[in-house]
């Protein structure tokens, strides 16, 4: 459970950092790319045992990290487009409700339990995510022509979580957890650099000190959000459907509370209802372990 709590905490800190990016006008794309490299350095120097870099491509999980690294960049850009066209609430709902994809994957492929407590908790979790994320009284309104973007964010986020679970279960050895996480960030960073190089060639790139600093600050919690999630998935007694549900809902819950405390955000009645349902759903899913 401690790994799951640490993953939630790291992911919630990412939310705070993104809010600060907006306040200090940090270029998110540049900071994200720099963050991937710094996250890679955190894993390389802090948690990896001595490893021959040349042997990484021979790892059975390496092809999967290529796909994950690309998805990290693609989903991020889709999330940015969705935010610009439909708003932050739409991105939050699309990202967190994608938990249904790895949950279904876990039930079908790994025959994970589907007791009444867990099913009820998962349903309440989805409702909680929706209600907690809506910051306007009108709810979510998406123009038909823009619907494709949140749908792709939903699918991309769900595929990322599902692939992490599949690779962790099938190919990643216990001693390779740090190397696995580090490789994903290294690949994402390399792809990101290619994007920035394209912008530079077009004369649209201007890197500043605050963008670099933003990326460095973001890199630490970003690395740990993945590292601790993988360790949580490896914990005995925890099914992936349980881990992903609690992880996603708890991130929404903690992030919302941090928004209130740190940024004086005002919540609507539906947001408070969502928070209450989030707590209930976590309790139900967690207690389903005992049945």
**Among candidates 161, 223, 225, which has minimal Cα distance to 189?**
223
Query: Cβ(271)–Cβ(132) under 8 Å?
Result: yes
**pLDDT tens column, 195-209:** 888 888 888 788 889
- The owner of tokens 């907006």 is 22
Count Cβ atoms below 10 Å from residue 121 Cβ, excluding itself: 27
Task: Provide mean pLDDT across the span 136-156.
Answer: 78
User: What local confidence, expressed as pLDDT, does residue 139 receive?
Assistant: 61
User: What local confidence, expressed as pLDDT, does residue 134 receive?
Assistant: 77
CA torsion through residues 178, 180, 186, 192, sign: negative
- pLDDT at position 142 over 70: no
Q: How far apart, in whole angstroms, are the C-alpha atoms of residue 11 and residue 254?
A: 9
Between 105 and 23, the more confident residue is 105
Helix, strand, or coil (residue 133): helix
- E-only strand ranges, the chain: none
Relative orientation angle of helices 240-263 and 116-133, to the nearest 10 degrees: 30
Task: Provide mean pLDDT across the span 164-181.
Answer: 90
**Among candidates 187, 284, 189, 176, which has minimal Cα distance to 231?**
176
User: What local confidence, expressed as pLDDT, does residue 133 receive?
Assistant: 80
- The owner of tokens 């928004």 is 259
- pLDDT at position 225 over 70: yes
User: What local confidence, expressed as pLDDT, does residue 160 receive?
Assistant: 95
Rg, Å, the chain Cα set: 19
| Listed range (89-98, 130-139, 151-160) with the worst mean pLDDT | 130-139
Q: What mean pLDDT, rounded, does the chain reach?
A: 87
DSSP string, 86-107: H-HHHHHHHHHGGGHHHHHHHH
- pLDDT at position 138 over 70: no
Residue 31 exposed, middle or buried by CB count within 10 Å (0-12, 13-18, 19+) = buried
- pLDDT at position 291 over 70: no
- pLDDT at position 232 over 90: yes
**Among candidates 238, 265, 68, 74, which has minimal Cα distance to 159?**
68
Q: Is the pTM of this model over 0.95?
A: no
Task: Provide mean pLDDT across the span 167-192.
Answer: 91
User: What local confidence, expressed as pLDDT, does residue 48 receive?
Assistant: 66
CA torsion through residues 64, 218, 225, 8, sign: negative
- pLDDT at position 255 over 70: yes
């Amino acid at each position: 459970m401690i790994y799951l709590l640490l993953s939630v905490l790291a992911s919630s800190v990412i939310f705070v950092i993104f809010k600060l990016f907006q306040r200090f006008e940090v270029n998110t794309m540049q900071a994200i790319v720099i963050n991937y490299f710094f996250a890679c350095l955190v894993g390389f120097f802090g948690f990896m045992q001595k490893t021959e870099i040349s042997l990484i491509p021979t790892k059975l999980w390496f092809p999967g990290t290529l796909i994950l690294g690309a998805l990290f960049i693609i989903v991020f850009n889709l999330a940015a487009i969705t935010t610009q066209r439909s708003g932050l609430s739409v991105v939050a709902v699309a990202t967190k409700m994608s938990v249904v994809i790895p949950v279904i994957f876990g039930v079908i492929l790994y025959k994970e339990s589907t007791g009444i407590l867990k099913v009820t908790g998962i349903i309440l979790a989805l409702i909680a995510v929706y209600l907690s994320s809506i910051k306007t009284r009108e709810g979510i309104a998406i123009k038909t022509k823009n619907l494709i973007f949140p749908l792709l964010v939903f699918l991309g986020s769900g595929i990322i979580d599902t692939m992490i679970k599949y690779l962790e279960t099938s190919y990643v050895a216990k001693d390779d957890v740090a190397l696995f996480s580090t490789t994903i960030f290294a690949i994402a960073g390399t792809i990101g650099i290619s994007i920035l190089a394209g912008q530079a060639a077009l004369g649209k790139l201007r890197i500043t000190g605050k963008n670099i600093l933003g990326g460095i600050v973001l890199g630490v919690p970003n690395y740990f959000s993945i590292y601790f999630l993988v360790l949580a998935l490896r914990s005995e007694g925890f099914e992936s459907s349980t881990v992903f549900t609690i992880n996603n809902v708890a991130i929404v819950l903690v992030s919302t509370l941090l928004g209130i405390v740190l940024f004086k955000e005002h919540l609507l009645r539906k947001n408070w209802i969502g928070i209450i349902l989030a707590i209930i759903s976590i309790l139900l899913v967690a207690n389903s372990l005992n049945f």
